[in-house]
């Protein structure tokens, strides 16, 4: 059974930084592209970044491009999201998941449809 556990969220002032982590189990991690999604008030869950199996391809949504950086450590089954220049509109619950595709031409979708508990990010103005 695929399981993910997100961590690293918290309360930060606008302009600050946070690093989110995601530990995955129940799958051969380096066989899968991985992605970060977020729920923000008033919006549907949004895929904001993904990375292919070896880190050679990265995708960022326009809302986070230039401020967030995704990375992975296949030896540790871990995915990361370094978030900088945070804005109040980044406030939300952040989730990681294996994704069907990591591409700039098609939306990210959760490969198994299973979600972890997420980690809350709150950015104060």
How many angstroms separate the Cα of 84 from the Cα of each of 53, 61, 73?
24, 15, 20
pLDDT tens track, the chain, 125 positions: 899 999 999 999 999 999 999 999 999 999 999 999 999 988 999 999 999 999 999 999 999 999 999 999 999 999 999 999 999 999 999 999 999 999 999 889 999 988 999 999 999 99
Question: Strand 58-60 vs strand 3-7: parallel, antiparallel, or unpaired?
Answer: unpaired
Q: Is 112 helix (H, G, I), strand (E, B) or coil?
A: coil
Q: Which residues contact 63 (CB under 8 A, 6 or more apart)?
A: 46, 48, 89
The gap between the terminal CA atoms of the chain, to the nearest Å, is: 40
At 55-87, the pLDDT tens digits run: 999 999 999 999 999 999 999 999 999 999 999
Report helix, strand or coil for 76. coil
pLDDT score, position 99: 97
Residue whose C-alpha is closest to residue 86's, from 21, 6, 12: 12
Q: How many CA atoms lie within 13 A of 112 on its CB side?
A: 18
Predicted pLDDT at 26: 94
């Amino acid at each position: 059974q695929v399981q993910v556990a997100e961590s690293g969220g918290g309360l930060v002032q606008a302009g600050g930084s946070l690093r989110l982590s995601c530990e995955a189990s129940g799958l051969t991690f380096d066989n899968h592209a991985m992605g970060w999604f977020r729920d923000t008030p008033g919006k549907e869950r949004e895929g904001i970044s993904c990375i292919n199996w070896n880190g050679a391809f990265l995708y960022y949504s326009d809302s986070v491009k230039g401020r967030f950086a995704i990375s992975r450590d296949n030896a540790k089954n871990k995915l990361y999201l370094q978030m900088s220049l945070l804005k109040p509109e980044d406030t939300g619950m952040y989730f990681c998941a294996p994704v069907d595709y990591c591409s700039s031409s098609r939306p990210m979708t959760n490969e198994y449809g299973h979600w972890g508990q997420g980690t809350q990010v709150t950015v104060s103005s």
